[in-house]
Copies of this chain bind each other. A is one copy, B any other.
Amino acid sequence: MQELAVRAIVRQSTERVQAPCSTCLVKDAGLCSMLIGKDRSNGTANTLPLAQNFAIAQPREIICRAKQPSEHFYVICEGWAFRFHRLQNGRRHILSFLIVGDVVSNFSIFTGSSEFATQALTDVRFCKFDRDQIRARLLQKPEIFEEWLARSVVMLRRVDRAGVALGRLQAHEKIAWLILQLRDRLDANGMINGDAIEFPLRQSHIADAMGLTTVHVCRVLNSLRKQGVFAIEDGVLRISDLAVLRRIANVM
């Protein structure tokens, strides 16, 4: 346990030296570019780049606890995470997955805490901004506010759609829908090159996100693989027939 903490600190400081954003996949899209001084050229006191503070989380590490006040605002720079809720009977429900460029809790800028916890799925590198600074910047600069708003809308729509999937799809449709949704998000970030897609979800994550059991997820995945739709192996997703995948998922 202590060993993990030490390693995290070491890697954290390493990353900080390397000016991580320069190689970021989404540095020109979204909030970050607006916050960290892409427009430094015409900078005034109001548009100084915000202070960044990088950190790394190990797999299974809690990045943000439920209902705990925090002065930070997190953006995922690298890796996967997920928001989840643990029920009283021990069951888990995964509310959503977060990938590069995603914000850990959009509204926490204003509420100061988030309703549900966020956990790292892989090694996650993320950027902490100061909550108060961000809020001030958001309210000062309309284009940043718009960007934040657009993200909130996308987020809400995503959660709504997940509700439809949970409520009215069959197991194989649910799984196809989840895979497709994640594929399209990765694609939008330019994170798909060739047919092998890095895909760190375990069957238990798929199960907990779509309201199924791991045993049944296993059966359905095998069936879909045998049908030649897609296959997940060793953390790699290969979609053999995107059209069929879309057809299965697009009952919605």
A residues near B, CB below 8 A? 85, 87-89, 91-93, 95, 107, 110-111, 115-116, 146, 149, 152-153, 155-157, 159-160, 162-164, 166-168, 208-211, 250-252
Looking at chain A's contact residues, the main secondary structure is: helix
Quickly give the copy total for this chain. 2
Given A159-B160, A167-B166, also A153-B107 (CB < 8 A): yes
* Closest Cβ–Cβ distance, residue A135 to chain B (whole Å): 11
Residue pair A156, B153 in contact (C-beta under 8 Å): no
Q: How far is the CA of A88 from the CA of B173 in the complex (A)?
A: 13
Neighbouring B residues of A209 by C-beta, 8 Å: 167
Residue pair B116, A167 in contact (C-beta under 8 Å): no
Given A153-B110, A250-B88, A252-B87, also A163-B164 (CB < 8 A): no
* Closest Cβ–Cβ distance, residue A116 to chain B (whole Å): 7
Neighbouring B residues of A164 by C-beta, 8 Å: 85, 87, 93, 95
Residue pair A163, B168 in contact (C-beta under 8 Å): no
Neighbouring B residues of A159 by C-beta, 8 Å: 156, 159-160, 163
Can you add 11 more A-B contacts, CB < 8 Å, to A85-B164, A88-B251, A115-B157? A89-B251, A93-B163, A95-B160, A95-B164, A107-B152, A107-B153, A110-B149, A111-B153, A115-B160, A116-B160, A168-B211
* Closest Cβ–Cβ distance, residue A91 to chain B (whole Å): 5
